[in-house]
Structure 1
Amino acid sequence: QGKVFQKDMEKLITNLVVYIPKAFESSNFQQQKDDIIQKTNKQMTDILRDIDKIARNAGFGIQQAANRILLIPLVENRQITQEEFSRLTEEEREKIDEKRNQTAKEIDDRIRDGQMVQRLAEEKAIEIQKQTAKEAAEPFIEQLKEKYKNFPEIADYLDKVLKDAAENHVIFSSVRHSLNENIITKLQDDSDSLDGEEKNIFEKAASARDSKDPFTRYKVNLFINNENTKGAPVITESSPYYYNLFGKIEYKSHMMTTMTDFTMIKPGAIHKANGGYLILQVKDLLMDPFAWGALKKALKYKEAVVENIGEQSRYVPTVTLKPQPIPLNVKVILIGSFFYYQFLAADEDFRKLFKVNVDFDVEMDRTRENIRNYVSFIASMCENENLKHFNCEGLAKVVEYGSRLADNQNKLSTRFNIVSEIVYEASALAEADNSEYVEGKHVNQAIKNKKYRSNRIEEKMQEQIVNKKVLIDTEGAVVGQVNGLSVMGVSGYAFGLPSRITARTYAGREGIINIERETDMSGNIHSKGVLTLNGYLGGKFAQEKPLGLTAQVTFEQLYGGVEGDSASSAELYAILSSLSDVPIKQNLAVTGSVNQMGEIQPIGGVNEKIEGFFDICSLNGLTGDQGVIIPVSNIDNLMLKDEVIEAVKNNLFHIYAVTKIEEGIELLTGVKAGEKDIYGDYEKDSIFYLANNKINEFNKVLKTESEA
């Protein structure tokens, strides 16, 4: 109804422009004005007669000067001249002056009576004008009061408008006299019937006096228009800066200064969302140093104040608009990462104001329904963004990409901003290809292009491996050396690379020495993973004797830190190889963490790790026996690129899944791990048999040393 009321007030202005001046042309008004004039003239005539009578009785005649009445002495009813007055004796002149002063006082009293008569007449005339203007405006005001009778504030406002219009009726007459009859006729019918030029004439006439529109005081600033809103408003503010959130008071230049009025009060998102919901991104909100504090204040006191930032920090108060606070009833929804939640949770006000925390997952189950929803999202995006639509193959590739982002065959990523990037680029590629639909090849190319734009560091590191600057073997077999797999991240792009892990074992009592830990290059989780290996080795080989060995383990050519336990199984394989003197095949790479019981545990980034080793093997030339060993529990995380899948299908590359260390060491060495017989001895020539013998030899050395 705000829009309707705004138009009603605009129509009221045009009605008052027409009918207030018209009322002053009525016979009733003219009669009242004439009555005042006649009455005033009669009273003034009587006063002038009295003044003349007072003067003559005192022997003076009256002569009008610029702003006063002169008393001239009379001789035989004739006013004497100045020359004649000067010929009088001094005594005669003094008597005349004394009498003149007395008479002047009496006349001044009557003059004041005349001034009072004129003042009362003017006041009466003004009162009649106000009353006439009020009577002309009142029917229109009453009509609006009836229309908005359910809004007491509007009724009070209209009463004030009526009073103001009556007191300032001259502005309506001034504008009316500047308009031609054609415009007046149209205004009587409907102000909307004015054409563009006629509206300009009306507006210029309204602001002709001092370049300001005198009717601004009667206009309505439609602060919020919910005309097209169904239900509670839901507002998403993408730029939640102070003025965008809380509105502002605008100013404009005028006569070498600035000015403002209530029509220049602009709303913010919090006003638009009043009675509904306001959705904000926390990251963007915190970018503005004033926005967060103002938002807390508004929610705490449940009122929204339109106030410019400068007014809060100004040392010298200035005269400006002070809009009334608006009662606030809004639900604010903040969207952000867990980091921002933890950060804001330290604020006591935040905990009081935002009591509901909803933790959204970044993935969802890959069910038929969710796949259908994924496809619907892509279709609606293509429709809304005027993109090319996807055929079935193209859609399937995007769904696969969603699972790749989730690192799980049974999940779909809900990071739709990343999925959208692929949709946009695939559509552009299809457009360039003059294809009717986006096909699978376009999606694949979009994914490759996205990788290409980010993989400079990956390519440089691969180049170093191929050029033997970083030593990685993909053929042959070496004792105490294994290819581990790790994931690196650069600017949001993750990729896998092999790392050479070596182990040297010898007689000693230090157990496993993690060189990275000794040099402060190992993270806590990696250090824990290495320490876990002591438990496994002790359980396997030190049940009836001390574990008399020292094993040094390291990542070769690692000049940065290392974190995570995904290489712990590879480190254990290297130690077992060193103990048994059985070489490890370098055509295989390993990933997976291990517990003290020898069980292989799942790790993250399995796809990047597999593809990282595959790329190195491809650059050196696939031999057909290369591959990776992964945990069985990571099988459902496999979402590999097409090149790897094709190589596996053609037996050019292999992926082995293991559950225990024993399975992995057998794949890496081609030698049985070894089971204990009924006497507690390991199978002859097995890995564990050879390793156990080596530990026995170490113990003998240590025993001999201690006895010596």
Structure 2
Amino acid sequence: MRRHPMTLHRWEVPARDLRIDLDPQRFPFATTDELADLDEIIGQARAVRAMDFGLQIQGQGYNLYVAGVPSTGRHSLVKAMIAQVAAHQPVPGDWCYVHNFHQPNNPRALRLPAGQGREFQRDMERLIAALKSDLVQVFRSQDYEQQRQALEEDLFKARDHLMKQLKQRAKDYGFQITSSRQGIFATLLFKGEPVKGVPFTAGHQPRSGKGAARQKALHEALHAFFQQVRSIQEQVNQRISELNHQVAVYATTPHFDRLREKYHECPPVLDYLQAVQQDIVEHLEDVLAEPEEVAELAGMESEPARRIMARYAVNVLVDHGQTHGAPLVEEANPTYANLVGRIARETSLGTLYTDFTLIRAGALLRANGGYLLVDVLDLLREPFAWEALKRCLKRQEVKIEDVAEFGGFIPPVGLIPEPIPLQVRVILVGTPALYPLLYAYDEDFRDLFKVKVDFDEQHRRTEDAPLHYGRFIARLCRAEGLRHFEREAVAAVLEQASRWVDHQQQLSLQFGDLADLIREASYWAGREGKPYVARQHVQTAVQQRTYHGNLVEERLRELIAEGTLMVDVAGAVVGQINGLSTYDIGDLTFGMPSRITARVFLGDAGILNIEREVELSEESHSKGVLILSGYLGGRYARDIPLSLSATLCFEQSYAEVEGDSASAAELVALLSALADMPIDQGLALTGSVNQHGELQAISGVNAKIEGFYAVCKTLGLTGQQGVIIPRRNLPHLVLAEEVVEAVESGSFHIYAVSTIDEAMEILMRCPAGALRADGTYPVGSINAAVQERLRYMHERFLTVETAKRQRRAGRSRRSPLL
């Protein structure tokens, strides 16, 4: 079919509409060193309101999930808002662990007012040192020795009296009693003189025969003597113990009374002091003994021996002595131990041991009474950390235990510290994609994190944008010693911020990326020895960053230039069109043309998507191809069935095809094959199409246009090349300056269309043709040619099918009956 000369101006996009409209001369500054530092977060009003709600509301489960991509200022805003709220909140108390004298394996937790934990620790250290000194002095005093000697003298007097009685009774029985260090002995008397031989002792059994009665009486007297002596010894020991107790209480009470007076508002501390005093009185030997003596008594080396006295120490777990307001803790390495805490161990003589002084607090306890900030992805990577955090929040307490005990791998052994009540607001920072996954698959998440804080990636450009971004640049330059920016350079930064979000009226809020651009532009200005950063330095920074990462893009263009990858940018071919794809290789996204071909032939198989058949088609791409059948049927098969077999293929594509942005190009290639009308290969088409033939906006429009322009430039610009885009993508055009200049000079063109008919007219240089009342299209139009071809194919298909049925019927009549 003959191509018609057509004018394309009505679809062409002028150069002024291809980038944002910024006039640096209207900026209220000449350079950024005139501006004050930015002291606010730009474009996050929604996040600010959600944060304020989450930080102010009271109630269990109102923890926060901050959702946003990196570099949007999530951490800065969160910490700034928390600091503002926390400054007006009370400082939480200190937490200490002390020895439990009733259950040594269950250390007690003590809460004291902020700053008093460390003071109480020092008070206890001074107390124990003073008590040891005073007790040693008291128990070595003359008064104590006199009282003790008096008690012992009573014992000696009573024992002497009993011995005197025993000797007299023994003499009456005919025996003489003698005592020595080896014991008490009785010797038989004959005529008042001791008989030589083996002496009689208390252990001898009475002999039989003559004198047995006397010997038995003596034995009973000796037994009674020893019982009486032991009874008196026990009484004296008891009186000495009572004396020691009275003296110890007398000596220690003034010291403890001073602490009781100081900590009278802390009943748990008073209970603990009472237990300490009682334990010291009951273990005077340990307190009074020298370390070497304690080691000897305990059968241990001196280090563990010294730890006998450590039971009176105070382990300050959390100290808020230097904290102002509620604490904010950011845990960068949220392991189980770093979150919950741990029980450390030390070695002695090759053996591990632990006690309450080796218990260490985790981030939850350090943030208790305040706020804990954690990256959710780091948290989920650590074994048991996520489950431990949820358990602590649900139970509102922190129980420090080994991770093996928490996981149930071993039963609880060793220390089991008393749980500490928990009142903390947890702020998880993560990506938007993680939130719905946690909400859907973790039942506890929705109950524990009821506040979602959404950080936007972009915001609408306002008249104040140059000033706000200029102040941001000014703050960064002062903070890092960078060169300040001229107003034209600020405009270039704003243009790049728009390019990152592919929108003329939107600006990127990824200030981390902006900060990198500012640093790099300052570097290039420094290389040239310039005092200020100019527009060309920002452009150089962008170009150099692209050059550092676009090796793959250049290699693909080289393959196209040498003909290995087949892409035509001139001429006209039936059933062949240039589609546009984007490649994302991490920090760089670029566009590249792909040859799309269509073939039609007789049959009723419909449209065959070759990528789908070999499982290289992602769901959205397959959907786009299926939509084509709906469009063809609705437009050309109103009175006849759609008898068509066709194939669509991305030539030389061996990776998965994603998205439906090529559906418009695939449809035009298919219509070209049906109408037998060639497509201009100097043009590329991008856009998705619906069943009514309307073109829909697609993503990556700037990368796709620039990618095709780069290929055309490599192969040679003819002045007739360009890209057709959906009209709905016009607000998204923020093209590179080189492409804009090419359009302005007429060497490259951008066309915007709303329907597939408009795209066909540009690509095939022929009227598409509107549907007439009789259901036909004007003669010579593209749609008429398609309709005519489909009717012909349907008729031919019916003829072939009729002939097949007749042949089958004839064979059936000739077949014999079984």
Q: Report the TM-score range of the alignment, normalised by the length of the smaller protein.
A: 0.7 to 0.9
2:445 aligned partner? 350
**Distance change (3 Å), C-alpha of 1:63 and 1:244:** same
Q: How does 1:158-557 map to 2 (within 5 A)?
A: 158-170=273-285, 173-174=288-289, 210=304, 212-312=306-406, 319-337=413-431, 339-344=433-438, 345-367=440-462, 386=480, 388=482, 391-392=485-486, 395-416=490-511, 418-419=513-514, 422=517, 443-448=538-543, 450-452=545-547, 454-491=549-586, 493-505=588-600, 512-537=607-632, 541=636, 551-557=646-652
2:69 aligned partner? none
Q: In 2, Cα distance between the equivalents of 1:317 and 1:97?
A: 67
**Distance change (3 Å), C-alpha of 1:427 and 1:212:** farther
SS of 1:222 mapped into structure 2: strand
**Does the 8 A contact of 2:304 with 2:348 survive in 1?**
no
Q: Which has the higher contact order (CA 8 A, sep 6+)?
A: 2
**Distance change (3 Å), C-alpha of 1:604 and 1:116:** same
| TM-superposed deviation, 1:159 | 1.0
Q: How does 1:585-600 map to 2 (within 5 A)?
A: 585-600=680-695
The Cα offsets for residues 472-504 of structure 1, whole Å up to 9 and x where unpaired, read as: 011222233221111233456432210112234
**Distance change (3 Å), C-alpha of 1:24 and 1:212:** closer
**Distance change (3 Å), C-alpha of 1:294 and 1:104:** same
SS of 2:735 mapped into structure 1: coil
2:146 aligned partner? 34
Q: 1:153 aligns with which of 251, 268, 271?
A: 268
| TM-superposed deviation, 1:630 | 0.9
SS of 1:286 mapped into structure 2: helix
Q: In 1, Cα distance between the equivalents of 2:663 and 2:553?
A: 24
Letter in 2 for 1:332: V
**Distance change (3 Å), C-alpha of 1:31 and 1:534:** closer
Q: In 2, Cα distance between the equivalents of 1:72 and 1:389?
A: 114
| TM-superposed deviation, 1:423 | 5.4
1:129 aligned partner? 244
SS of 2:595 mapped into structure 1: strand
Q: Which moved more, 1:561-570 or 1:432-441?
A: 432-441
The Cα offsets for residues 386-422 of structure 1, whole Å up to 9 and x where unpaired, read as: 4636525555444444333323232334445555555
**Does the 8 A contact of 1:388 with 1:437 survive in 2?**
no
SS of 1:629 mapped into structure 2: strand
SS of 1:223 mapped into structure 2: strand
Letter in 2 for 1:31: D
1:197 aligned partner? none
**Distance change (3 Å), C-alpha of 1:618 and 1:541:** same
SS of 2:659 mapped into structure 1: coil
**Does the 8 A contact of 2:124 with 2:314 survive in 1?**
no
**Distance change (3 Å), C-alpha of 1:45 and 1:238:** same
Q: In 2, Cα distance between the equivalents of 1:687 and 1:647?
A: 31
SS of 1:248 mapped into structure 2: strand
Letter in 1 for 2:167: A
| TM-superposed deviation, 1:632 | 1.5
**Does the 8 A contact of 1:403 with 1:411 survive in 2?**
yes
Q: In 2, Cα distance between the equivalents of 1:531 and 1:589?
A: 22
**Distance change (3 Å), C-alpha of 1:132 and 1:477:** same
SS of 2:580 mapped into structure 1: strand
| TM-superposed deviation, 1:322 | 0.6
SS of 1:161 mapped into structure 2: helix
Letter in 2 for 1:36: R
Q: 2:134 aligns with which of 22, 25, 28?
A: 22
Identity of aligned residues (%): 38
| TM-superposed deviation, 1:591 | 0.5
Letter in 1 for 2:391: K
**Distance change (3 Å), C-alpha of 1:551 and 1:114:** closer
Letter in 2 for 1:167: E
Q: In 2, Cα distance between the equivalents of 1:403 and 1:8?
A: 59
**Distance change (3 Å), C-alpha of 1:145 and 1:428:** farther
**Distance change (3 Å), C-alpha of 1:660 and 1:633:** same
Q: In 1, Cα distance between the equivalents of 2:690 and 2:196?
A: 136
Give the alignment's Cα RMSD to 1 decimal: 4.0
Q: 2:759 aligns with which of 664, 676, 681?
A: 664
Letter in 1 for 2:316: L
Q: TM-score normalised to the size of structure 1? A: 0.82
Aligned residues: 674
| TM-superposed deviation, 1:257 | 0.4
Q: TM-score normalised to the size of structure 2? A: 0.72
**Distance change (3 Å), C-alpha of 1:629 and 1:301:** same
Q: In 1, Cα distance between the equivalents of 2:374 and 2:696?
A: 40
Q: In 1, Cα distance between the equivalents of 2:248 and 2:468?
A: 67
**Does the 8 A contact of 2:592 with 2:707 survive in 1?**
yes
Q: In 2, Cα distance between the equivalents of 1:705 and 1:16?
A: 110
| TM-superposed deviation, 1:264 | 0.8
Q: Say whether residues 1:617 and 2:712 are aligned partners.
A: yes
The Cα offsets for residues 567-625 of structure 1, whole Å up to 9 and x where unpaired, read as: 22222332343444443222221101222333221011112211221221222233333
Letter in 2 for 1:40: E
**Does the 8 A contact of 1:408 with 1:638 survive in 2?**
yes
Q: Which moved more, 1:501-510 or 1:222-231?
A: 501-510
Q: Which moved more, 1:56-65 or 1:207-216?
A: 207-216
**Distance change (3 Å), C-alpha of 1:388 and 1:509:** same
Q: In 2, Cα distance between the equivalents of 1:326 and 1:152?
A: 16
Q: 1:11 aligns with which of 111, 123, 133?
A: 123
Letter in 1 for 2:125: I
**Distance change (3 Å), C-alpha of 1:272 and 1:545:** same
| TM-superposed deviation, 1:635 | 1.7
Q: Which moved more, 1:40-49 or 1:675-684?
A: 675-684
- Provide structure 2 residue ranges, at least 5 long, that are not aligned to the other structure: 1-112, 201-205, 294-300, 804-818
Q: In 2, Cα distance between the equivalents of 1:487 and 1:26?
A: 89
Q: In 2, Cα distance between the equivalents of 1:318 and 1:491?
A: 47
Q: How does 1:627-706 map to 2 (within 5 A)?
A: 627-675=722-770, 685-688=780-783, 690-691=785-786
**Distance change (3 Å), C-alpha of 1:674 and 1:209:** closer
**Does the 8 A contact of 1:55 with 1:71 survive in 2?**
no
| TM-superposed deviation, 1:700 | 6.8
**Does the 8 A contact of 1:379 with 1:389 survive in 2?**
no
Letter in 2 for 1:162: Q
Q: In 1, Cα distance between the equivalents of 2:477 and 2:229?
A: 87
**Does the 8 A contact of 2:291 with 2:305 survive in 1?**
no
